[in-house]
């Protein structure tokens, strides 16, 4: 299995500073246990996974030990990946999460 991974430092424009998060774009959701194992392997405070659904993105976050309901810096890091690598022509995007919808 090959999954792209981006390590993004949120809240900064300098390398090795800010708040790091791993970001994994997916074509479809993987089993929860697989995403949890990937987050444990990344060993960052959060790993975010997202799946594009039409013009929106569904987003989930995992720490190395559990899925969590919300993570601000990993959401912003995911938006950075979406706007710079996945869909650069997009001006904004709607992110659907277990905690509601967020416009980024």
Q: What is the DSSP string of 26-76?
A: ESSPPPHHHHHHHHHHHTSS-EEEEEEETTEEEEEEE-SS-EES--HHHHH
**Is-catalytic flag, 41?**
no
* CB-count burial class (<10 Å; 0-12, 13-18, 19+) for 96: middle
**Residues tagged active-site:** 46
């Amino acid at each position: 299995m090959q999954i792209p991974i981006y390590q993004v430092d949120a809240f900064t424009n300098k390398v090795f500073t800010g708040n790091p998060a791993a970001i994994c774009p997916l074509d479809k959701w993987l089993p929860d246990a697989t995403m949890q194992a990937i987050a444990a392997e990344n060993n960052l405070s959060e790993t975010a996974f997202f799946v594009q659904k039409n013009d929106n993105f569904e987003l989930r976050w995992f720490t190395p030990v559990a899925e969590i309901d919300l993570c601000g810096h990993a959401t912003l890091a995911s938006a950075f990946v979406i706007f710079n690598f996945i869909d650069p022509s997009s001006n904004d995007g709607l992110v659907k999460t277990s905690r509601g919808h967020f416009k980024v």
